[in-house]
Structure 1
Amino acid sequence: MKKRLGIISFFILILAGFIFNWNYSYQKGLEEAYIPLIETPSGNYLSSERGVFKQATFEFNYTDMPVDSAYERTIKDYYKNRAYLGAPPSIPHPLIKGERGIGGNSCLQCHQNGGFVDAFKAYAPVTPHPEMVNCRQCHVAQNSTSVFKQASLEKIHPPSIGTGANNALFGSPPMIPHGLQMRENCIACHAGPGAVKELRVSHPERINCRQCHLPKQMTTTIIDTTKFLRQFDKLNE
């Protein structure tokens, strides 16, 4: 009798353990996945990759969406709208709600999900970081074209684009030639009607981009400060 009770108790413990572990695993599966702050060898920080998955439904629509060639943005337009390589894009249009229009109150109305804006006859680029609603903290309006004068300072050239430009091996997926901070949502720039023509990908439905594309090792160029100061003095003569 005792032996039978022992066997029954043993199986009850196994069943209880199974139920406990299954419930724990199920509850953990409901939690949102995250990636903690990580310092990469290039010095960049990747806080999260959740952004690329938040708008997954749009990525699936991009696959069958026709391209409106009359309103495509080019790589030249892309860099023309920045003070220097890597700078936040300036605001190339009048502010609809004036200086008080920021974030969800104004900017995100067009730039959170994109779409055609009839007032400006253009497709609004999708922001890769819609959670940062104080847009004017980094993005400034183009109020003047005569503030700056031509300089002879050495420019940092943008990453090369095209077949084989950033591939580690022949036929391998191209590597990511830029930093990842605040650019976690790859599809925001690489798919959809507001994407740059030369940067548009052929497979936007594959939203887990970093499964195949890895960050490229970034190198830092040491600038001769004496040469830099000499050029700066010439500008102020």
Structure 2
Amino acid sequence: MIGRRGTQIGLVAVMAVAGIGFVVGIDDGVPRADIRYAERAPGTAEGGAGVRPATSYLDLRNQRPGANAGFRTSLEDLAAAAEPPDVPEGDLARRRALAQREERRAFNGAPPVIPHEADPVGSDACLSCHESSVRLADESAGGLPHPYYTNCQQCHVAESPLLEPVVLAASSFEGLAAPDGGDRAWEGAPPTIPHSTWMRGNCLSCHGPNGQVGIRTSHPERVNCLQCHAPSAELDQVDIGPQRFLSSAAGTN
């Protein structure tokens, strides 16, 4: 019994020694490169130039190394700072702003065309610039003057620089002339609003700090524009006439 147990222990010992020898032999047989490093002071490189310390992974995500370190894709970074409201307006600047407004509308009061390429699906792309008024370089992107609607191109038609305008049918329609300014009760009084206020509830979309210089307000911090600037009774009210008034009172159409 003792002899059999001793034989088993001996076999285990032989197998263990053989395994260790196999591993050591393979490791010794791998060729190794003879690399010798020159002695140098820590924190320096050849030529004495400083070595940038290694950055931790926690700090690495907050850094922007490389050639594109200054590249930004946010509209907030591209937006130019609004000019101060006390920029001298002058009659020339006002007429220039009104002329640009007129050339983008089929007639006074019509929705303006889109002067650039536009995504025909949804309004997300439109809201990226027009949700609130911004200035990009020398261009002004007015904010929504009306409530939000899901399909901008239901009313605003995109211009195409590749297509010439085509007259589909002759028409004698002539729209109203664009207003040149509001009336004043006396010299120095606040002018009336020279256009209708329907679909134009947000005055700052055109007259705010990012609007055209010629029609920009000098007091954008005031909340209620209609407190001083009265709407036009002719543009905002409908003259139903005496005959229609009598028919409505009688309950007939």
Output one character per residue of 1:36-94: Cα deviation in whole Å (capped at 9) or x when no partner.
Answer: xxxxxxxxxxxxxxxxxxxxxxxxx9684786x9xx97221111011111000110001
Alpha carbons of 1:151 and 1:137: their partners in 2 closer, same or farther (altered >3 Å)? closer
The alignment partner of 2:153 has SS state of helix
Output one character per residue of 1:154-185: Cα deviation in whole Å (capped at 9) or x when no partner.
Answer: 44111122xxx511233211111211111111
Partner of 1:160: 180
The alignment partner of 1:218 has SS state of helix
Partner of 2:102: 79
Distance in 2 separating the partners of 1:132 and 1:90: 16
How do 1:111-190 residues align onto structure 2 when only pairs under 5 Å count? Answer: 111-117=130-136, 122-129=139-146, 131-143=148-160, 144-148=163-167, 153-161=173-181, 165-190=182-207
Distance in 1 separating the partners of 2:198 and 2:172: 29
Distance in 2 separating the partners of 1:217 and 1:124: 30
Partner of 2:126: 107
Output one character per residue of 1:13-51: Cα deviation in whole Å (capped at 9) or x when no partner.
Answer: xxxxxxxxxxxxxxxxxxxxxxxxxxxxxxxxxxxxxxx
The alignment partner of 1:74 has SS state of helix
The answer to which of 76-85 and 165-174 deviates more is 165-174
Greater CA radius of gyration, 1 or 2? Answer: 2
| Gapped regions of structure 2 (runs ≥ 5) | 1-80, 240-253
The alignment partner of 1:168 has SS state of coil
Distance in 2 separating the partners of 1:109 and 1:123: 13
TM-score by length of 1: 0.53
The alignment partner of 2:233 has SS state of coil
Q: Does 1:203 align with 2:230?
A: no
Partner of 2:41: none
Partner of 1:55: none
Distance in 1 separating the partners of 2:174 and 2:113: 22
Equivalences, count? 148
Output one character per residue of 1:105-144: Cα deviation in whole Å (capped at 9) or x when no partner.
Answer: 11010001232346xx622111212522321111111134
Partner of 2:40: none
| Gapped regions of structure 1 (runs ≥ 5) | 1-60, 222-237
Distance in 1 separating the partners of 2:85 and 2:179: 27
Cα RMSD (Å) of the superposition?
A: 3.1
TM-score by length of 2: 0.50
Alpha carbons of 1:153 and 1:131: their partners in 2 closer, same or farther (altered >3 Å)? closer
Amino acid at match of 1:200: R
Partner of 1:52: none
Distance in 1 separating the partners of 2:148 and 2:105: 22
Distance in 2 separating the partners of 1:160 and 1:197: 15
Partner of 2:55: none
Identity %: 37
